[in-house]
Chains A and B, each alone.
Chain A
Amino acid sequence: MSETGTIESVGLTEEAVRQIVREELGRAERRDPATKKAAIIASKGTLDFAYPPLILATTAAATGMETHVFFTFYGLNIVHREFESKLKVSPVGNPAMPTPVPMPNLVTVVPGMGPLATSMMKSRFDRKHVASIAELLDTARELGVHLVACQMTMEVFGYEPDDLIEGVELGGAAAFLSEARRAHLTLFI
């Protein structure tokens, strides 16, 4: 007897069975707690790399996900009290960076080019009404995003907990993995 015959013998078409399976899978996926959890590593300490983890974390939290961001190595800059002055962009070795006039990348090592590039990017973001890093950090904390600083790299850089913005927890690799293994969404940025 064919499988189709079996399905029909209980009064269901193949399409009806497929529909039931689709619905059940959808329900199971929605119940899966890992679909509601995000674990992100922020490892870079430049202005352009501060945005992606914070944008994704605030959006994840806004969609109801339990969200953890682990700041390690230069990523600690993002949650440092002096993030405004620490987060910069460098045109050096970054030929993708837009410049007002075309210039060889070698010129970017000239003193003053770094601060110029940083203020240009900030004003460009501001003009387009992109949220500031301060605003994204506030939003993340307001939405209950867990901001976790890597204890080991804090030691290496000589940072004390008081050097970081309010509301940052401390943790290590095991703490990150414990969250990440229960999350479908894990990113290293």
Chain B
Amino acid sequence: MAIAEDKVLDARGLLCPMPVVKAGKEIATLEPGQVLKILATDRGSVADVPAWAEDTGNELLEWHEQDGIFVYYVRRGEEE
């Protein structure tokens, strides 16, 4: 099932901590309920993005790997 995103963050080629730092900045520009799609190549992001989403009250809707690129869909939460 395809998830419609409101914004895309291209974090490919970036290493820890920048994918999460940039994701934090980008999701702050969205309204609660809107979805940020994140593209990353950092293998650590598999642990970092879900942890970041949980700690910030945002919801990781789905993630998958495709051709070495990790794709995340995070919905901005209501908190804060």
Chain A residues proximal to chain B, CB less than 8 Å:
30, 55-56, 58-59, 61-64, 128-131, 139, 143
- Additional 20 contacts, C-beta under 8 A, given A30-B57, A63-B56, A131-B14: A55-B16, A56-B17, A58-B17, A59-B16, A62-B21, A62-B23, A62-B24, A62-B25, A63-B20, A63-B24, A63-B52, A64-B24, A64-B55, A64-B56, A128-B15, A129-B13, A129-B14, A129-B15, A139-B21, A143-B24
Residues of A within 8 A of B56 (CB): 63-64
Which size class do B's interface residues fall under? 10 to 19
Let me know if A59 and B13 touch, CB within 8 A: no
Let me know if A143 and B14 touch, CB within 8 A: no
Let me know if B20 and A55 touch, CB within 8 A: no
Residues of B within 8 A of A61 (CB): 21, 24
Residues of A within 8 A of B25 (CB): 62, 143
22 contacts between A and B (CB under 8 A): A30-B57, A55-B16, A58-B17, A58-B21, A59-B16, A59-B20, A59-B21, A61-B21, A61-B24, A62-B20, A62-B23, A62-B24, A63-B24, A63-B56, A128-B15, A129-B14, A130-B15, A131-B15, A131-B17, A139-B21, A143-B21, A143-B24
